[in-house]
Amino acid sequence: MTGMSSLWEFLSRDAAFFGGPQSPMLSWIGSFGIVLFFLWHVIRLAVAVSRAQRPFDRVCSMLITLSHDRGDIDRERFTSRALVGFAPPADQTASSPTRIDCDDLNTVEAAMQEEPLFRQPWAQFRKTLILQHVPWFVEPRIFSTRRAEDIFTQDALLSHRVNLAFYSQLPSLVTGIGLLLTFLALFIGLSKLHADGHEIVGIQGLINGLAGKFLTSIVGLIAANLFTLIEKPMVFRLMNAHHAFLGLIDKLFPRKTMEQMLEQLTPMHSERGGGRQASGGELRERVGGMGTDGLAVPIAELTAAVRSLTKWKQDEQEAGRRMTTELPRALREEFAVPMKTLNDSIHELTTLLKDMPLHRTQATTTLDDLMSRLTDTLAAQRTSSGVARSEESRFWPKRSMVSTERPPA
């Protein structure tokens, strides 16, 4: 109890440091604590943001190099409507640089595996990559079916490294701590007031240190504003690095929608009618423009094989639809007779169950008649047998009584 009184007296004592105002020791201690709390979290935030941004800087430098090397080839390949496998676009010269997407994929794969931050999300993004279906003599392109921001989300990359939700609320926390200590200081000052008769004692202690009691609120507000000025630019730079990373991934592996994939499956022809049925000479001429005269026959055979496979697939689908349509009718015809027999049997069983009480009543009556006749017959037999015994006892000869006495010796 004495220790608590001494601690309370120490915290209530007014003091002045660094030429400042008179303020309770609680306010001075709280102000120093708020400053240390502020500095500690600023250092933690700076270290966490620096560690989280370092992998982005390393990977983005490699992605920027790949993106610059590729140039505008992606845009030209997606916007031009060229004949796939036969001739290059009209605006693309023979000396245009070409790149192999598989090499870029291997480079990005190695870089992602070296960074623990991207290892798990990259494994999921890798599953969304698809190869473009092109002729065998054309290098396939690599596309993604999902955007990078759907896989490399902020929560997946930064939630376990930087607690952004906590640091966004830290200014409010510091301000609340400062206000709480201010109210405690006012509470300490008001606790010294008490009425002694007609006089109020202790008002001097409240008035003397009244200005210093707001010290913690002032320090808390200053620390909260400074933390906001420091935290927002740090987080902004980190978010910029994240967005730049997503943009580079989408540029290296463009997203192909379902509409684009369906459009590529549809044959594209520049002209109709006679152009749709090109002769073998025209086909050789087109292929000869690319310097591949020996590919005309294999391509024609491959086209014929694809057409036959497509026709076989369509016939199979038509057979499946026909079976689906005719199967219910066949089932109805097959099960018509058994179902009729089953319905008749159920009707007969229902009629039999309805007539069962009447048959049971008739059987009970017949059984009662039989029991009555049997009882009468047994009674008559018993009566006749009794009369016969009496007649027999009347005419039956009496046996002589044999003396049981022994003769004298």
What does the DSSP assignment read for 196-244?
Answer: ETTEEESHHHHHHTTTGGGHHHHHHHHHHHHHHHHHHHHHHHHHHHHHH
- Global pTM reads 0.53
Q: What backbone torsions phi and psi does residue 194 show, to the nearest 5 degrees?
A: -160, 155
Which residues are CB-neighbours of 183 under 8 A, at least 6 positions away? none
* Helices 296-334 and 280-289: angle between axes, nearest 10 degrees: 120
How far CA 388 is from CA of 253, 305, 355, 379, 394, in Å, comes to 124, 115, 50, 14, 10
Task: Note whether 217 and 179 are within 8 A (CB).
Answer: yes
Picking from 215, 165, 307, the residue whose alpha carbon sits closest to that of residue 18 is 215
Q: Which segment of 43-57, 141-155, 194-208 scores lowest on mean pLDDT?
A: 194-208
pLDDT in tens, 300-349: 888 888 888 888 888 888 888 888 888 888 888 888 888 888 888 888 88
What is the rounded CA–CA span in Å between residue 300 and residue 126?
Answer: 35
Query: What phi-psi label fits residue 80: left (phi over 0), alpha (psi between -120 and 50 degrees) or beta?
Result: beta
DSSP letter, residue 400: P
Instruction: For the chain, state the CA radius of gyration.
Output: 53
What is the rounded CA–CA span in Å between residue 49 and residue 163?
Answer: 10
Q: Which segment of 10-19, 134-143, 275-284 scores lowest on mean pLDDT?
A: 275-284
Assess whether pLDDT exceeds 80 at residue 61: yes
pLDDT interval class at 54 (50, 70, 90): very high
Local structure of 406: helix, strand or coil: coil
DSSP letter, residue 44: H
How far CA 30 is from CA of 189, 212, 218, 221, 226, in Å, comes to 16, 12, 11, 13, 18
Query: At 143, which helix (H) or strand (E)?
Result: strand 142-144
